[in-house]
């Protein structure tokens, strides 16, 4: 049997290749890209603003520290007249050791003092000749219930003056009264309504000795 001759096709065969055309970008993803881009830009902008503010704050802190290290200026205030801070500073002073009493009163006030040892009281009358006259009285002997009454009038309340609780009275004739029991002594004051302010100032200067 004779061998068969095999004929080989040597011709070049070029495969039929079709060009690959990339598919178009899906249009439905386009809005997402826009949103993502805006968010990214906003994030970058926010970071930039934060860095700017942080830098500005550091500059302000540095400036403040420099100002703090500067010497503090000394401001000298002109002395205020004593009459403004304490209207009683230039007043006269009345003292009575037996009745353990001391107080101030205005320079232009005239006082008349009644003191009888056997009566166990002292009475200071301010400007006796004027309708605005008022009196301060200190007694060492008095009835037990006397602190509750003044001229047979019962107390209507109390008033705190320099830590001392004075009893208040509305007296006949439109006058007012105040009374305080201290150091086994009864202090009383009777005055017209028109003198209430000055009486309060006088009472604020009261000092009681032991």
* Best CA proximity match to 139, nearest among 104, 96, 170, 177: 96
| CA 171 – CA 193 distance, rounded (Å) | 10
Half-sphere exposure of 13 (CA within 13 A, CB side): 4
- Going from N- to C-terminal start, the domains of the chain cover 31-67, 88-208
Query: Is the separation of the CB atoms in 157 and 145 below 8 Å?
Result: no
pLDDT reported for residue 6: 47
Query: Is the separation of the CB atoms in 137 and 187 below 8 Å?
Result: yes
Q: Which residues contact 49 (CB under 8 A, 6 or more apart)?
A: none
Q: Which residues contact 148 (CB under 8 A, 6 or more apart)?
A: 154, 155, 167
pLDDT in single tens digits along all 210 residues of the chain: 455 554 455 455 555 555 555 555 556 666 778 877 888 887 887 788 878 877 877 787 777 666 666 555 555 555 555 545 888 999 999 998 888 889 999 998 888 888 766 667 888 888 888 888 889 998 888 888 888 899 889 999 999 988 889 999 999 888 999 999 988 889 999 998 888 888 888 888 988 877
User: How far, in Å, are 100, 106, 123, 126, 138 from residue 130 at the CA level?
Assistant: 28, 15, 17, 9, 22
Architecture of the domain delimited by 88-208: 3-Layer(aba) Sandwich (3.40)
């Amino acid at each position: 049997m004779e061998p068969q001759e095999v004929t080989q096709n040597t011709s070049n065969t070029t495969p039929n290749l079709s060009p690959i055309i990339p598919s178009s970008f899906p249009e439905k993803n386009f809005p997402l890209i826009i949103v993502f881009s805006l968010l990214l830009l906003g994030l970058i902008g926010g970071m930039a603003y934060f860095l700017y503010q942080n830098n500005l704050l550091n500059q302000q802190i540095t400036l403040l520290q420099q100002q703090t290290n500067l010497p503090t200026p000394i401001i000298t205030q002109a002395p205020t007249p004593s009459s403004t801070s304490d209207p009683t500073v230039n007043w006269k002073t009345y003292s009575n050791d037996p009745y353990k009493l001391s107080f101030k009163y205005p320079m232009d006030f005239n006082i008349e003092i009644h003191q009888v040892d056997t009566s166990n009281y002292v009475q200071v009358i301010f400007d006796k000749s004027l309708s605005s006259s008022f009196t301060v009285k200190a007694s060492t002997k008095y009835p037990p219930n006397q602190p509750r009454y003044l001229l047979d009038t019962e107390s209507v309340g109390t008033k705190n003056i320099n830590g001392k609780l004075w009893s208040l009275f509305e007296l006949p004739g439109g006058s007012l009264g105040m009374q305080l029991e201290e150091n086994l002594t009864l202090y009383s004051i009777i005055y017209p309504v028109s003198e209430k302010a000055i009486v309060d100032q006088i009472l604020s200067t009261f000092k009681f000795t032991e």
